[in-house]
Structure 1
Amino acid sequence: MPPPTTVELLWGTTQRPKRGPKPALTLDGIVAEAIALVDAEGLSALSMQRLAERLGFTKMSLYRYVPGKEQLTALMLDTAMGEPPNSAGVQQNWRTGLREWVEAIFARYLAHPWTIELIIGVRPLGPNELGWTEAALTALAGTGFTGSEKLDTIVLLNGHARSLAQQVASMSEGGELQFTEQFTEMMTAAGGRYPEVQAAFAEEAATPAGRGGPNDALRFGVERILDGLAVLIDQRN
């Protein structure tokens, strides 16, 4: 019997034996442990051997449930992304729906930064990931956009959320203080050649705590994208 494909595992269409002893492991349990591992140590720490050791089984035992790392990471991605918020899949004011969708997917990226690396490229999509696309398309249903325009809108909004989450994730603990020290040194070396850069960063540094953070950056970009979409909708109407 050939091993299950990535699509079969993602969509639960594999045929499991109905007789025999109860499995010692479950696919859901394997995926959950893998997610816990990469949440703690990063995607580079993941290997079938390392995962097997954490579960207390041999590497060959895992292959009975998942053929390899490619299938495992596909399952991890779809599980970590989870389902979109219910409100994002309900047809409502398109701006509200898209805003909620972006804020929710941004939160998922922050919770599991390694997903950003896995979503790049051509690959099979799982039910949760397709659910996010369905939710965004539902929010766009009343805009009059073509199918291509709707998909491009999703790419634009998701790209903004993803790139900002990537920046946040790359800022290690203490990284902001380190950058501030390096920036001060750079500006001293520059000798006043970049006055606008220096003024902008100085103003940002003076921003009260709780403002100017990643959520503000997310909302600013999202609102500007939505403003542009609103102009296009008004022009067509």
Structure 2
Amino acid sequence: MSEEQSEAVRLLWGPHPKPSRGPKPALSLDRIARAGVEIADAEGLAAVSMQRVAGLLDVTKMALYRYMPGKAELVAVMVETAIGEAPPPNGLRRGWREQLGDWARHLGTVFHRHPWLLDATVGPRVIGPRELAWMEQALATLDGTGLTGAERMDAVVLLAGHVRGIVLQARAAGPAGSPEAQLTATLGELMRAHGEQYPALTAALASAAQSGGQDQALEFGLHRILDGLSLLIAQRSN
């Protein structure tokens, strides 16, 4: 483990010793993390720097380094703060499908609220206790289904990847509208000029427009993933 990763582990997992003497520290990890989240929410992850965070907290950059070794560690605690607590369990009477579906929707809400998390949660990195609690809860919903541990992990990764992909498209679309609506509008113009070359696409767009089926990509994909898991679980029970 690199020195940078070791520092991230210490900040995320503790312990965080408090001085027994002297004045109360002017800053806390939570306050620093929330300042970074505020900047990232407004301007994106690239806008976050030790200097910007220090300015927002009204301290010098050197003062901030007393609490935070660098930007990599700062982003790690920002992720832990932004992702928040895992959604509460839905109760024992609800099945794995309903619980896992709610878990995926909650994850989508978090990514929509903090789109920069899409950039901050890729590649090798240290994961904090809150983020692991999300994974723990999703895996726990599949207890008793007959799926192996590896299959459960793959199922959770598949669901998270679907949610990430939808939110990524929404972020790219920006405030102008949903990605589905933008794609439909763009393709509609093209089909009016070249529709005879793409009859299947033309028919699909016309059907979607009549049924109001746009903007359902998250739910459609979510249900199809859960359908597939249901079939696999049913096979294991036979």
What TM-score do you get using the length of structure 2 for normalisation?
0.88
Aligned mate of 2:44, from 42, 46, 53? 42
After superposition, what is the alpha-carbon deviation per residue over 1:78-98, rounded to whole angstroms, capped at 9, x for unaligned? 111111111169695111121
**Alignment of structure 1 residues 197-208 onto 2, 5 Å:** 197-208=201-212
Structure 2 CA distance, aligned partners of 1:128 and 1:120? 16
The one-letter code of the counterpart of 1:13 is P
Q: Report which stretch shifted further, 5-14 or 184-193.
A: 184-193
Deviation at 1:186, TM superposition (A): 3.1
Structure 1 CA distance, aligned partners of 2:12 and 2:233? 37
Distance change (3 Å), C-alpha of 1:185 and 1:224: closer
Q: Report which stretch shifted further, 195-204 or 62-71.
A: 195-204
**Alignment of structure 1 residues 36-115 onto 2, 5 Å:** 36-87=38-89, 92-115=94-117
Post-superposition, which runs of at least 4 consecutive aligned residues in structure 1 deviate over 6 A? none
Residue 218 of structure 2 is matched in structure 1 by: 218
Deviation at 1:57, TM superposition (A): 1.3
Paired residues in the alignment total 232
Structure 2 CA distance, aligned partners of 1:37 and 1:232? 44
SS at match of 1:222: helix
After superposition, what is the alpha-carbon deviation per residue over 1:190-233, rounded to whole angstroms, capped at 9, x for unaligned? 3632222233234334444xx632xx322211111111111111
Whether 1:134 and 2:144 are equivalent positions in the alignment is: no
Structure 2 CA distance, aligned partners of 1:200 and 1:232? 30
Q: Percent identity?
A: 46
The one-letter code of the counterpart of 2:58 is G
Deviation at 1:107, TM superposition (A): 0.8
Whether the 8 Å contact between 2:108 and 2:164 is mirrored in structure 1 is yes
Kindly report the root-mean-square deviation, in angstroms, between the aligned alpha carbons of the 2 structures. Answer: 2.4
The one-letter code of the counterpart of 1:234 is A
Deviation at 1:99, TM superposition (A): 1.0
Aligned mate of 2:162, from 160, 163, 166? 160
Structure 2 CA distance, aligned partners of 1:16 and 1:6? 18
SS at match of 1:192: helix
Residue 150 of structure 1 is matched in structure 2 by: 152
Q: Report which stretch shifted further, 123-132 or 19-28.
A: 19-28
What TM-score do you get using the length of structure 1 for normalisation?
0.88
Structure 2 CA distance, aligned partners of 1:134 and 1:82? 14
Deviation at 1:184, TM superposition (A): 4.5
* Structure 1 gap segments, 5+ residues each: none
Structure 1 CA distance, aligned partners of 2:124 and 2:135? 15
Deviation at 1:164, TM superposition (A): 0.6
Whether the 8 Å contact between 2:184 and 2:205 is mirrored in structure 1 is no
The one-letter code of the counterpart of 1:71 is E
Distance change (3 Å), C-alpha of 1:184 and 1:96: closer
After superposition, what is the alpha-carbon deviation per residue over 1:55-100, rounded to whole angstroms, capped at 9, x for unaligned? 2111111111110100010111111111111116969511112111
Deviation at 1:182, TM superposition (A): 4.2
Whether the 8 Å contact between 1:89 and 1:134 is mirrored in structure 2 is no
SS at match of 1:165: helix
SS at match of 1:172: helix
Residue 24 of structure 2 is matched in structure 1 by: 22
Distance change (3 Å), C-alpha of 1:59 and 1:91: farther
